[in-house]
Amino acid sequence: MNIALIAHDKKKNDLVQFATAYKALFSEHTLYATGTTGLRISEATGLTIHRFQSGPLGGDQQIGAMIAKNDMDAVFFFRDPLTAQPHEPDVSALMRLCDVYAIPLATNMGTAEVLIKGIEQGLVEWRNLRKESKGDSNAEERI
């Protein structure tokens, strides 16, 4: 699976701790992250992570582009709902794309725990059906 890891500044430590706790599981998948978040997780865990730009510089949009191409399977986006973000429209667009393309999205530790357990138990294998039907214009209607 292709998994995105994103965190606002005040939530980066939480995501690093989460990735450390589930390092073995994450090591079985292809990981993508926005700039600083990816660097911090990689340094803490040794995981291989494809790093995009930082969120405010377009990293959220780069991950959004993968979602729009059906090339992302899950997103862990630890958001800080109490701090205004300069790139809030990008954040909203990324979340909307997850909804449009039925990409599982965890925005806090609670939903992240549920999603990671689902991945661990194979409960998101339906994503493979979406990938297999990629390019088929009627695939969205059948799934």
Confirm whether 60 is a catalytic residue. Answer: yes
Q: Which of 9, 14, 60, 99 is catalytic?
A: 60
CA nearest neighbour of 27 among 49, 51, 12, 6: 49
Identify the band that residue 124 occupies on the pLDDT scale cut at 50, 70 and 90: confident
Average pLDDT over every residue of 12-32: 98
Which domains, ranges and CATH numbers included, belong to the chain? 2-142 (3.40.50.1380)
Identify the band that residue 140 occupies on the pLDDT scale cut at 50, 70 and 90: very low
pTM of the model: 0.87
Whether residue 139 is predicted with pLDDT greater than 60 in this model: the reply is: no
Burial 57-92 (b: 16+ CB within 10 A, else e): ebbbbbbbebbeebebbbbbbbbeeeeebebeebbe
Identify the band that residue 135 occupies on the pLDDT scale cut at 50, 70 and 90: low
